[in-house]
A and B are shown apart, each in its own frame.
Chain A
Amino acid sequence: MTFFFICPEINKSSQAVKEGPSAGKAAIGGPFTLVNHEGKKATEKDFIGKWTVMYFGFTHCPDICPDELQKLASAVEKIKKKAGFEIVPVFISVDPERDTVDQVREYVKEFHPKLVGLTGTPSDIKNVARSYRVYYMKTDVEDSDYQVDHSIVMYLMGPDMQFVKFFGKNHDDESLADGIIKEIKQYQGQQVKKGAPTL
């Protein structure tokens, strides 16, 4: 008798787990106030309504940042071709002292016309790096030149600027593109179920 009443509850709760927000999603991201490569103020609100991939690096990086940004640019093109999704790639500097607006503008334009470059005051950069759990530290300081050691991660942010997934250095452009397409389709599937607008 009691078993009959419990069963429907069990079915409903397992459904709720599938449709609801994933439990245990790290609190990554948050509000920021930076300056874009055109010298204009940029906040997280400017990216609402779009899918964004953020990469933290610095323009004086010898090899890793150019490779990662090249990879990101290529993935953006592949995503457009394969699935028709428009992704906004973003480069955020962890070297605010050297990465002026002019420096960032000259740097990003070489990778992709849609690549947004963000920089700011050291304290604004510190804040955004903290929100995204990005490690960065000056190293090899010598005669005014230095390197910046930093975590190498791409952050996929959804249309509400909510953190969706991160991709490490081990992904190539194809796997990065496929991974992003998969997340967007999954999100859109969930939105359809909720009866909410898809983006």
Chain B
Amino acid sequence: MASEAYASRSTDEVHTDVLFQARQACYKARDAFYDCLQKQSDKKPTELGCVGLLYPAECKKSRLAYENSCRPSWVKHFDRLYCKEKRVQRLLDDKETRGGPLVLPQKG
């Protein structure tokens, strides 16, 4: 009974922004933005994306293209993954600056 009623309710619009072509366009724009971040890694990050992701102004164009190509929740999801990856990489790469014994301020 309930299942028949459910079947008939599918007159809502299909969300095509999650289907194949839209996904591919989103991934492409996302990867272009992250590539920009890699290339501009020496620049100072001044712009703020969501979930606290900072990026340099040089990547603003690709950032906008990425945000326009993907659902907002997807942008958040991918940014979060990217930040996590970067954090792990930083932990693995950072041998000189963070390694060694903890130095506390001395008294006197």
Interface residues of A (CB under 8 A from B): 33-35, 39-41, 59-63, 66, 98, 100-103, 106-107, 110, 119-121, 123-124, 140, 142-143, 145-147
Return A83 CB to nearest CB of chain B, in Å.
29
Most buried by B among A61, A62, A103: A62
Contact A62:B77 (CB < 8 A) given known A35-B3, A100-B9: yes
List 6 tightest A-B contacts by C-beta distance, closest first: A100-B10, A101-B10, A39-B7, A62-B74, A102-B10, A145-B73
Return B50 CB to nearest CB of chain A, in Å.
10
User: Complex formed: what's the CA distance from A41 to B10 in Å?
Assistant: 14
- B71 part of interface (Cβ distance < 8 Å): yes
Report whether B3 and A60 are in contact in the complex, using a CB–CB cutoff of 8 Å.
Answer: no
Report whether A140 and B10 are in contact in the complex, using a CB–CB cutoff of 8 Å.
Answer: no
Q: Which A residues touch B78, using CB under 8 A?
A: 62-63
Which partner residue on chain A sits nearest B21 by CB separation? Answer: A110
Q: Which of B1-48 contact A (CB under 8 A)?
A: 2-4, 6-12, 14-16, 18-20, 23, 26
Q: How many residues of B contact A (CB 8 A)?
A: 26
Report whether B71 and A60 are in contact in the complex, using a CB–CB cutoff of 8 Å.
Answer: yes
Q: Which of B61-80 contact A (CB under 8 A)?
A: 70-74, 76-78
User: Complex formed: what's the CA distance from A145 to B19 in Å?
Assistant: 16
Q: Which A residues touch B18, using CB under 8 A?
A: 59-61, 107
Return B48 CB to nearest CB of chain A, in Å.
17
Return B72 CB to nearest CB of chain A, in Å.
6
Contact A41:B3 (CB < 8 A) given known A60-B18, A106-B16: yes
**Cβ contacts A to B, 23 pairs, < 8 Å:** A59-B18, A60-B15, A62-B70, A62-B73, A66-B20, A66-B23, A100-B10, A100-B12, A101-B6, A101-B7, A102-B10, A103-B10, A103-B12, A103-B15, A110-B20, A119-B6, A121-B2, A121-B6, A140-B73, A140-B77, A143-B72, A145-B72, A146-B73
Report whether A120 and B72 are in contact in the complex, using a CB–CB cutoff of 8 Å.
Answer: no
Report whether B15 and A98 are in contact in the complex, using a CB–CB cutoff of 8 Å.
Answer: yes
User: Complex formed: what's the CA distance from A59 to B20 in Å?
Assistant: 11
User: Complex formed: what's the CA distance from A35 to B20 in Å?
Assistant: 23
* Known contacts A59-B18, A120-B3, then 10 further A-B pairs from the complex at CB < 8 Å, ordered by chain A residue: A35-B6, A39-B10, A62-B78, A98-B15, A102-B14, A103-B14, A103-B15, A106-B16, A123-B2, A147-B73
User: Complex formed: what's the CA distance from A120 to B2 in Å?
Assistant: 9
Return B10 CB to nearest CB of chain A, in Å.
4
Which partner residue on chain A sits nearest B5 by CB separation? Answer: A121
**Of A34, A62, A106, the contact of B14 (CB 8 Å cutoff):** A106
User: Complex formed: what's the CA distance from A106 to B16 in Å?
Assistant: 8
